[in-house]
């Protein structure tokens, strides 16, 4: 659907109201292959970031970060705590543009310990800053209490010198990172992975380091991790380089660092362009535009397979639109078309973890910057986390359409979960799901020895294995996501027609499905998103 940002939001709303008279239905068949997985994600695929940006980080004359920095975020806010706890084990990546200018307040310091301030001569217009260990203690208290898995981005420019515009030379000074890691171990804090640097790969963003030097520094960091964690099993993973994918640069890094050195190959994606783009919504609603990123996923996978098959690909940071996201767009319902579609695409290319920029802060935060109330994408992420398991399955539609389909093994239980994204503004898709094994839905269930004639007849048509109640096995779960009042840029998401809002005591609401006859056709409304759980779909690869 094409729409200019400059057009009236009111007229767009009216368009959605009057459109039903012209709506059409289209029958589609979706074939899911449950015999094999085409890829596998980490069990904790969903990740969100905490950034270093201070309150006076501004883009397009707007300063959308507030007090959400690693340095000053209110870590005891109950909405924040509840939002993280709802995931049970949310991955949180601490990092961002300013991380390479952060010194850790332990050991012998090179610079005075102070927060960031505006400095035209500094990287990204900010001074160096310092993370006090008292703040690191507070952060780890939050992570421990919420069950978060932590990735921490280390200061890869520490000790280097800038020799010409954007180019940093010299060997990384590891002493400060060594002291931080040692302190972390002494305090009993758990860091799942240490990441080295932020957006220093290739041509860099603001700063860059040559691949050969980066490789040498990674070898040194791996040695530190092995030394300090020698009595720990498992040791934290080493992630790098946390930048935009440059195939030649990434290839050299993997080759020169050597076998088994990098555990997690991280890359960043902002494929929607600047947050000020007047065509941002049009891009989000154009599946052909969104598909352009597939080439990056394919090349990342290929590069790792050829040069570092011991490593796993991660999207270490992705906010859709860069420069803090799009005001009034990145924090609204429409953004979930981009977000969930990219989760589905990245998973098919063996991406293990996908880190959303950001958990809170900027226009693209999963939580509102000032109120801490969840934005629509928060619930999209939570539904994915609750329903979509590690195993990625092939899901093919029998004819071209603006309907995206993804299939995973259901998380934590048998069956298959579908993610269906309808980019059409006029067509309701009526979907019949077929199993590639026999091109029909296969219900698996145990049969009582005193089965009725009806059950015996059904048994001839479908296979039965399992121990569930008969009535329950004939139901599927449906989670239909739409915007409040049909307004795509609403900050309120509806689940099966009900607004998703915090409970009276500030807790995340229970995400309740519709229970529908498993034999009935699935209906996906225009410009809507649905998760469909098929608990008895015969998928041997998911057992």
Report the C-alpha gap between 29 and 350 in whole angstroms: 26
Report the C-alpha gap between 181 and 44 in whole angstroms: 24
State how beta strands 312-318 and 353-356 pair: parallel
For residue 55, is the peptide bond before it cis, meaning its omega torsion is within 30 degrees of 0? no
Q: Residue with structure tokens 């700063």?
A: 207
Strand, coil or helix: 59: strand
Question: How close are the terminal C-alpha atoms of the chain, in Å?
Answer: 39
269, 318 contact by CB (below 8 A): yes
Residues linked to residue 320 through DSSP beta bridges, in sequence order = none
Q: Which residues contact 477 (CB under 8 A, 6 or more apart)?
A: 513, 514, 515, 516, 531, 532, 533, 535
Report the C-alpha gap between 523 and 480 in whole angstroms: 10
Neighbour count for residue 63 (Cβ, 10 Å): 14
What are the φ and ψ backbone dihedral angles of 304, each rounded to 5 degrees?
Answer: -70, -45
Cα 502 to Cα 86, 331, 367, 492: the distances in Å are 12, 17, 12, 11
45, 355 contact by CB (below 8 A): no
Neighbour count for residue 513 (Cβ, 10 Å): 18
Report the C-alpha gap between 355 and 319 in whole angstroms: 9
As separate numbers, helices (DSSP H) first and strands (DSSP E) second, the chain gives: 13, 24
Residue of 296, 207, 213, 304 whose CA lies nearest to 250: 304
116, 58 contact by CB (below 8 A): no
Strand, coil or helix: 248: helix
What are the φ and ψ backbone dihedral angles of 131, each rounded to 5 degrees?
Answer: -100, 115
Q: Which residues contact 18 (CB under 8 A, 6 or more apart)?
A: none
For residue 241, is the peptide bond before it cis, meaning its omega torsion is within 30 degrees of 0? yes
The DSSP-derived string for 395-428 is EEESS--SEEEEEEEETTSSSEEEEEEE--SSEE
409, 539 contact by CB (below 8 A): yes
Active site residues: 199, 317
366, 50 contact by CB (below 8 A): no
Report the C-alpha gap between 80 and 384 in whole angstroms: 19
Report the C-alpha gap between 355 and 12 in whole angstroms: 32
Report the C-alpha gap between 534 and 420 in whole angstroms: 13
Residues linked to residue 494 through DSSP beta bridges, in sequence order = 482, 499
């Amino acid at each position: 659907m094409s729409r200019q940002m400059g057009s009236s939001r009111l007229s767009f709303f009216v368009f959605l109201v009057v459109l039903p008279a012209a709506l059409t239905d289209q029958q589609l068949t979706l074939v899911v292959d449950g015999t094999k997985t085409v890829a596998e994600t980490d069990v904790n695929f969903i990740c969100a970031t905490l950034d270093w940006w201070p309150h006076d980080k501004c883009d397009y004359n707007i300063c959308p970060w507030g007090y959400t920095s690693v340095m000053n975020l209110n870590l005891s806010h109950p909405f924040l705590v509840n939002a993280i706890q709802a995931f049970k084990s949310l991955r949180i990546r601490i990092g961002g543009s300013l991380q390479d200018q952060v010194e850790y307040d332990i050991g012998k310091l090179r610079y005075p310990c102070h927060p960031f301030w505006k400095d035209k001569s500094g990287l990204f217009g900010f001074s160096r800053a310092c993370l006090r260990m008292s703040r690191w203690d507070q952060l780890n208290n939050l992570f421990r209490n919420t069950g978060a898995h932590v990735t921490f981005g280390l200061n890869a420019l520490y000790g280097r010198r800038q020799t010409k515009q954007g180019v940093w030379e010299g060997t990384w000074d590891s002493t400060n990172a060594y002291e931080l890691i040692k302190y972390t171990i002494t305090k009993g804090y758990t860091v799942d992975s240490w990441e080295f640097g932020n957006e220093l790969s290739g041509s860099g963003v603001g700063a860059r380091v040559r691949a050969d030097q980066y490789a040498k520094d990674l070898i040194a960091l791996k040695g530190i991790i092995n030394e300090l964690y020698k009595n720990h099993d498992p040791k934290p993973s080493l992630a790098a380089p946390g930048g935009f994918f440059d195939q030649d640069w990434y290839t050299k890094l993997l080759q020169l660092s050597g076998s088994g050195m990098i555990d997690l190959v991280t890359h960043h994606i902002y494929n929607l362009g600047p947050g000020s783009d007047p065509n941002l919504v049009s891009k989000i609603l154009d599946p052909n535009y969104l598909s352009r990123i597939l080439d990056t996923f394919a090349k990342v996978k290929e590069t790792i397979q050829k040069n570092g098959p011991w490593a796993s690909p991660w999207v270490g940071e992705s906010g859709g639109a860069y420069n803090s996201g799009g005001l009034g767009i990145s924090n609204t319902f429409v953004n979930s078309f981009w977000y969930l579609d990219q989760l589905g695409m990245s998973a098919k290319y063996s991406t293990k973890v996908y880190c959303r920029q950001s958990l809170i802060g900027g226009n693209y935060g999963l939580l509102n910057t000032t109120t801490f109330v969840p934005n629509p994408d928060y619930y999209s992420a939570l539904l994915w986390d609750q329903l979509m398991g590690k195993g990625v399955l092939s899901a093919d539609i029998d004819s071209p359409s603006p309907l995206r389909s993804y299939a995973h093994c259901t998380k934590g239980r048998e069956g298959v979960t579908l993610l269906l994204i309808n980019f059409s503004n006029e067509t309701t898709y009526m979907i019949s799901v077929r199993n590639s094994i026999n091109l029909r839905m296969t219900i698996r269930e145990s049969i009582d020895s005193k089965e009725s004639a009806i059950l015996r007849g059904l048994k001839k048509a479908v296979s039965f294995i399992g121990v569930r109640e008969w009535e329950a096995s004939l139901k599927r779960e449906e989670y239909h996501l739409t915007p409040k009042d049909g307004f795509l840029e609403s900050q309120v998401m509806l689940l099966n027609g009900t607004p998703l809002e915090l409970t009276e005591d500030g807790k995340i609401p229970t995400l309740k499905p519709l229970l529908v006859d498993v034999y009935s056709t699935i209906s996906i409304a225009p410009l809507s998103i649905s998760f469909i759980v098929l608990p008895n779909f015969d998928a041997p690869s998911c057992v």
